[in-house]
Amino acid sequence: MGMKPGAGMKADAVVVGAGVVGAAVARALAVAGRRVVIIEQGVPGGAVSGASLACIGTHMMDEDELPLLKWCCDEWAAFAEAAPDFEYSRCGQLRFLKQESERRSADEWIGIETAAGLSPTLLDPEAVRRIEPELTGPIHAATWSPNSAVVNPFLAVRRLLEAAQAARATLVSRNPATALRVVGGRIAGVETADGPIEAGIVVIAGGPWTAKLAATAGVQLPIVPRKAQCLATVSVPRSIRTVVGACKAEGGVDAGYTQIQQAMSGQILFNTVLEGGVTAAGSPDDIPEVDRAFIRDSIATLLFLFPKFAEIDLLRSWVRYEAVTPDDRFLTGPAGPDGLFVAAGDGGTGFVRSLGMARIIADLVAGRESPFRRDLYDPARFDRRAAA
């Protein structure tokens, strides 16, 4: 933890950022035998990753990404077997419908996921209560995806870093990479206030700060920061067993986004963002306040579903900046000078995808084919669309 860059610090690869994506990339490269330095400007997991609800699932996510998402869920389960505890719990996920008009979308998603070998089902309110007894609000129905899991986000990042360090990766904390080094058109490492770290490969996994660092080598990336907010109640006895969300439907459940779950500490963690899930952009260096409308809508949804919590006390709220691209998919792959890669732009669901992004980077560095569609994440995809 206490390593400092300085004269002569050399590696095969520098990974910038110790959020869940950088930690996963560092682990994948180190396990593949590369000498890795991972550099973090703050504390590992201290940006959006540690503030995540960290649901690991495939349900109603992205049809094109389903194979990768399935692979990621299996990898998380395998990592939970191998690594010391990070509170991995395969609790399943419910997505509620308020009215019959949302049914078509629910049926479509169930069809897509069933064809992909998953087993979601549609439940009536009585069946929902057999799974989630306290969900007594007046819902119309809910989809049920039994394979979704949750993890403790801080512990998960820590375990990934420990696995990277066990494979001889070096972690440098509280030390920003201030610029990329480019020599003769090739990447040559990063600059820090304490001196350079030399490496022929640099992977920027800097979340919403990624575009700023890439720009130091003249690389423009379409990543913008977006506010992500959450609320937590005081601890209460185990009441919510699953991850509860709104059905993903055009105009459905007020066209919003909801996630409610109970942490192992007993705190209920919840957020509802209406109007299509879009919150304000800003600078990732701001310390913004939680929006009042967000608090109101989040409480209203919690109480609509779980009226028994009408008297529960709120404990805390937080805001982080997640990295967003124009199509809400990661930019993962080569960018700009030879040796430079990025893995950022999570669109708000990067925890589950992090292991897949790490696999893509490790395959690219090793010159191997990936089992996934790399074109979905190619950082150059927007340039090509603009040129067409």
Ligand X SMILES: Cc1cc2nc3c(=O)[nH]c(=O)nc-3n(C[C@H](O)[C@H](O)[C@H](O)COP(=O)(O)OP(=O)(O)OC[C@H]3O[C@@H](n4cnc5c(N)ncnc54)[C@H](O)[C@@H]3O)c2cc1C
Smallest separation, CB 138 to ligand X (Å): 25
Distance CA 47, CA 154 (A): 10
Smallest separation, CB 99 to ligand X (Å): 25
Nearest to ligand X of 351, 377 (CB atom) = 351
E strands in the chain? 13-16, 36-39, 55-56, 93-97, 121-123, 141-145, 149-150, 170-172, 177-183, 186-192, 197-198, 201-204, 224-235, 243-246, 257-262, 267-273, 314-324, 331-334, 340-344
Smallest separation, CB 45 to ligand X (Å): 7
Distance CA 318, CA 161 (A): 24
Phi-psi map region of 62: left, alpha, beta (phi>0 left; psi -120 to 50 alpha): beta
Smallest separation, CB 227 to ligand X (Å): 9
Nearest to ligand X of 18, 167 (CB atom) = 18
Task: Name the residue with the smallest CB distance to ligand X.
Answer: 19
Smallest separation, CB 160 to ligand X (Å): 10
Nearest to ligand X of 40, 65 (CB atom) = 40
Smallest separation, CB 189 to ligand X (Å): 13
Cβ-based neighbours of 158, under 8 Å, separated by 6 or more: 44, 45, 86
Nearest to ligand X of 127, 315 (CB atom) = 315
Sites of contact with ligand X (CB under 6 A): 16-22, 39-42, 46-49, 51-55, 176-177, 205-207, 209, 213, 228, 230, 259, 271, 320, 322, 344, 346, 348-352
Nearest to ligand X of 97, 213 (CB atom) = 213
Q: Which two tokens stand for residue 167?
A: 């494979």
Nearest to ligand X of 140, 191 (CB atom) = 191
